[in-house]
Amino acid sequence: MNFSDVLFHPTLIFATILYSIMAISFAITYQRFLHKIGPVSGSHWIAKHIGEPFIHVLLLVAFIYMTYPVLFGMESHNAAGDRILPSLSNLLNATNAPTMKLINTLFIISVLLPLIPVVNHFIALILPLQAIAAGAILYGWLANYTGIEYALFPGYKVLAAIVLLSLLADLTAKALAQLFGQSFNEKYRTRDVQKIIHKSALLIFQVPVLLIYTLNLSL
């Protein structure tokens, strides 16, 4: 499948809508929780540095599972209706790759990435890098299952596009938060709406970045 086929695929559309709803719901719940516990408690630190990255991982894993194998530009069945790729459950069982292993790996990555000096100066890259790591791991499992050689580096042009899109996504999320959140913040004397919009947009904007990466991998 080419990019437009994937973009308008029912599986991807449904998964993106559901993922967006989950991302917005999390942003609202998370912001209310932070407001309730206060900014100086130990619970606030735990929620921000452990709870938030962990929920991000759960949302991401849910999305890539919902879109497998479409996010790689593939169909599980051919035109005759015969299965040509393993189902997700068969892939996970056959490769001894349980979901918790994927979740733990992505969580560790999300915790360690901010500690890298270069990445720490570009916080906008953390969520996209996490999404790319998730796609790379699942793709590696699929390639190992099929027994075909593969490479996880999509090329420098694609890498540059990912970096530029990630930075643009961050700027767009901030602009949306400023545009739509400021009026609500002033009306209700709160900053929660602006933060909710910004966080929701950042999570949703992971989708195009992930697709640019996964669709440039080929078995």
For the cut 70, the answer to whether the pLDDT of residue 188 exceeds it is no
- Read off the tokens for 100: 């918790």
Q: Give CB contacts under 8 A, 24+ apart, made by 46-51.
A: 49/111, 50/111
CB proximity list for 101: less than 8 A, separation 6 or greater: none
In one-letter notation, the amino acid at residue 74 is M
For the cut 60, the answer to whether the pLDDT of residue 100 exceeds it is yes
Within-domain flag for 21: yes
Which one, of 119, 127, 93, lies nearest residue 199 by Cα? Answer: 127
CA distances from 133 to 10, 126, 154, 162, 181 (A): 24, 11, 13, 13, 31
Within-domain flag for 219: no
Average per-residue pLDDT for the chain:
85
191, 185 contact by CB (below 8 A)? yes
Domain span at residue 172 reads 3-214
Within-domain flag for 175: yes
Within-domain flag for 183: yes
- Read off the tokens for 30: 């998370």
Q: What pLDDT sits at residue 121?
A: 65
Total domain count for the chain? Answer: 1
Q: Strand pairing partners for 83?
A: 77
- Read off the tokens for 145: 């299952």
Instruction: Give 34-89 pLDDT, tens digit per residue.
Output: 878 777 667 877 888 888 889 999 999 999 999 999 999 888 877 767 777 888 98
CA 28, 29, 35, 40: dihedral to nearest 10 degrees?
A: -120
Q: What pLDDT sits at residue 96?
A: 72
Most confident of 31-35, 113-117, 176-180, 206-210: 206-210
d(CA 6, CA 202): 21
d(CA 209, CA 149): 24
